[in-house]
Amino acid sequence: MSRYPEFIALICVALAGNALAENHKKPAGHYGYGKPATAEEIAGWDIDVRPDGLGLPPGSGSVEDGEMLYETHCAVCHGSFGEGVGRYPVLAGGEDTLMEDRPEKTVGSYWPYVSTLWDYIYRAMPFTAPQSLTHDETYAISAYVLYLNDLVDDDFVMTQDNMASIELPNQPNFFGPDPRPDVQNTRCMKDCKDVSKITILSEPQPTEPEAEAVVEVASAAGAMAAAEQTYKSYCSVCHAQAIAGAPALEPADWESRIAQGKDVMVRHAIEGFQGDAGVMPPKGGFVQLSDDEVSAAVDYMLQQVQQP
Ligand code: HEC
Ligand code: HEC
């Protein structure tokens, strides 16, 4: 047996070692710019609080203190009783409305965890000055919003230790993970279908090349579609707008013409024709058109003229 694979492995280890050493020489990061975030910078972003209280900073605040702070910082938008001013969110009330046509979703009626209240206020409120409240102020205001929802007494003091123990009424209606399966099938472990034979029917099919599509329209989908195309490309220039005396596709303009018979009209269209109204050039001036194409275009025009 050759010792070649081991040799390759040794080289790889050596190269990896070199790469690591290289990285250590460049504290500026993988791409050579930036710098590692400091503990202080990370702390500025790492402010999320979880339902079990993880992430809460040390501190406390009473309903009593909260009332004053709430009046100062929050009532102008959310109302003194959390009833919401104008279209600003309602923070209190709405019990037993979730099954109604217009449920009132508030901290008391809808929210699952007090941690969301603390986190939201600390992170985002007051609306015009987010992250301006201290930890203690946030505890006090959170306690007061709970008080407005009749969930705590007026002597309640919220702390880092008791926040998680307060249960919101709607919490049991939140559950997870979603028990509904992503797929309905059971997994096949043996004698499974040959994957190469499975076709995905909803996948977009490649479009037919242009030329084939035109042929198909002419044969299968009906000659009229092709005739309409000829009319629109070559004849409508004059006939749609009744330019230079060309009869528009109005019955009144065609009565006498139809009376002379279709063969005459087709011949006039192919060979050209000067009548009282003006000059119809041979094939409308587009001599590259075959006689059949011009004839079909006349059919289309007559069909349009004679449509009820
Ligand atoms: C200038 C008006 C204004 C002030 C002042 C204000 N808020 Fe808000 N508050 C809002 C708006 C607007 C929203 C909705 C924001 C959104 O949906 O993005 C909101 C949302 C909230 C919510 C979430 C409501 C919900 O059910 O989704 C809470 C809780 C809240 N504010 C608490 C407070 C507290 C506490 C204060 C005082 C510290 C405060 N707000 C001050 C305007 C204000
Ligand atoms: C440059 C303008 C012009 C173009 C393009 C044109 N026509 Fe006409 N066509 C006329 C005019 C003008 C008349 C009326 C002549 C008269 O009755 O004095 C006319 C009349 C006709 C008539 C009636 C003939 C009759 O016997 O009364 C038919 C049919 C007709 N055109 C078919 C076509 C078809 C099909 C095309 C396209 C391939 C086409 N025309 C393109 C100007 C045009």
Q: How many percent of the chain have pLDDT more than 70?
A: 84
**pLDDT (average), residues 85-93:** 96
Nearest residue by C-alpha to atom 25 in ligand 2? 265
C-beta of residue 94 within 8 angstroms of C-beta of residue 104: yes
Mutate to test the pocket of ligand 2, among 228, 230, 236, 239 (most ligand atoms within 8 A of CB): 239
Beta bridge partners of 273: 280
* pLDDT tens per residue across span 30-83: 788 888 899 999 999 999 999 999 999 999 999 999 999 999 999 999 999 999
Residues contacting residue 97 through CB under 8 Å, at least 6 positions apart: 103, 104, 109
- For domain 48-173, give the fold: Cytochrome Bc1 Complex; Chain D, domain 2 (1.10.760)
Q: Quickly state the pLDDT bin for 183 (edges 50, 70, 90).
A: confident
Q: Which atom of ligand 2 is nearest to the CA of 297?
A: 35
Q: Is the CB of 143 under 6 A from ligand 1?
A: no
The predicted structure's pLDDT at residue 178: 78
Residues contacting residue 174 through CB under 8 Å, at least 6 positions apart: 112
Taking alpha carbons only, the member of 38, 299, 56 closest to residue 162 is 56
Amino acid at 153: D
Instruction: Pull the structure tokens for residue 203.
Output: 């996948």
**pLDDT (average), residues 69-98:** 96
Nearest residue by C-alpha to atom 26 in ligand 2? 265
Instruction: Pull the structure tokens for residue 135.
Output: 């930890």
Beta bridge partners of 62: 157
Using the predicted structure, report yes or no on whether residue 110 has a pLDDT greater than 60: yes
Cα 101 to ligand 1 centroid, rounded to whole Å: 24
Q: Is the CB of 84 under 6 A from ligand 1?
A: no
Asked if the domains 48-173 and 211-306 are classified in one and the same CATH topology, the answer is: yes
211-306 maps to which CATH number? 1.10.760.10
The predicted structure's pLDDT at residue 25: 53
Taking alpha carbons only, the member of 243, 235, 241 closest to residue 268 is 235
Q: Is the CB of 273 under 6 A from ligand 1?
A: no
In this predicted model, which residue has the larger pLDDT, 196 or 60?
A: 60
pTM equals 0.52
The predicted structure's pLDDT at residue 204: 65
Per-domain residue ranges of the chain? 48-173, 211-306
Identify each DSSP E strand in the chain by its residue range.
Answer: 60-62, 157-159, 273-274, 279-280
Rg (CA), the chain: 40
Hey, how many other C-beta atoms are within 10 angstroms of the C-beta on 236? 19
- Give the distance from CA 30 to its chain's centroid: 34
Cα 136 to ligand 1 centroid, rounded to whole Å: 18
